[in-house]
Amino acid sequence: MKIVLLGYGKMGQLIERFAMKRGHEVVLIVDERNRESIEIEDLQDADLAIDFSTPHAALENISLCFEANLPLVVGTTGWYDHLDEVRETCIEADQALLYGSNFSIGVNIFFHINKMLAKAINPYKQYDVQVEEIHHIHKLDAPSGTAITIAEGILENTDAKKNWVNSIEGSGEEVIPKPDELLIESLRIEEVPGTHTVLYSSEVDQIEFKHTAHSREGFALGAVIAAEWLLGKKGFFQVTEMFDFNN
């Protein structure tokens, strides 16, 4: 594939390395230094774009790729308030977009088991649940998209919680969740790639379900694999659709 990279931070650079290892070619790199000068014509020679930019830039990049009829993988999070709008535009324009909060194979297995665990514990009301996420201090959004996906998986499979709320450690704003609210606690610690923990606590015991990323490489490789999966398709997809654990 001929790939356009939208965003060229640490993730973008890793994606470039894995794309080249898998026989692909990066034909254009777009970041804050040249984004304003990029036109639709600049994307015509590419087969697909991969976006790991910023929440605001991601929305602009999505529109640009739709106009250029260029399939797009979006690993940027923080723009999901516009998800329905983007989905509608994508389908109406017969475009191709795959998005996800995390492209790691391990995390997607985690998502699957998280739903099973929530369903298994649901009858036992003595357990309260919360989510904790830890990331590097450079991460722009909180909670992480991965933590939101985890929370949504719990909410879909439990009767006790109706919505999630976020507490950011060090923000100075104390968040005390109501009994029917699922707390996502966000911590930002130097160069932590990403740690997510689901905690079920009762008076007699605690269950911890945890995923720890050792580096960003799993995310980058997964994004390239997602691009390979998306090529040739039309529609609006979530990364979890790449993983069919029921077969």
Q: What is the DSSP letter of 23?
A: T
Pairing between β-strand 128-135 and β-strand 181-188 as defined by DSSP bridges:
parallel
Asked if 198 and 129 touch (Cβ cutoff 8 Å), the reply is yes
- Whole-angstrom CA distances from 29 to 7, 49, 53, 99, 244 are 7, 10, 11, 19, 32
Catalytic residues: 135, 139
How many whole angstroms separate alpha carbon 76 and alpha carbon 65? 15
Cis status, amide bond into 143, omega within 30 of 0: yes
- CA distance linking residue 34 with residue 26, whole number of Å: 16
Give the C-alpha separation, 81 to 65, whole Å: 19
Q: DSSP code of 216?
A: S
Query: Who contacts 206 (Cβ-Cβ below 8 Å, separation ≥6)?
Result: 199, 200
List residues bridging with 52 in a β-sheet.
none
CB 50 within 8 A of CB 70: no
The backbone torsions φ and ψ at residue 70, rounded to the nearest 5 degrees and listed phi first, read -115, 120
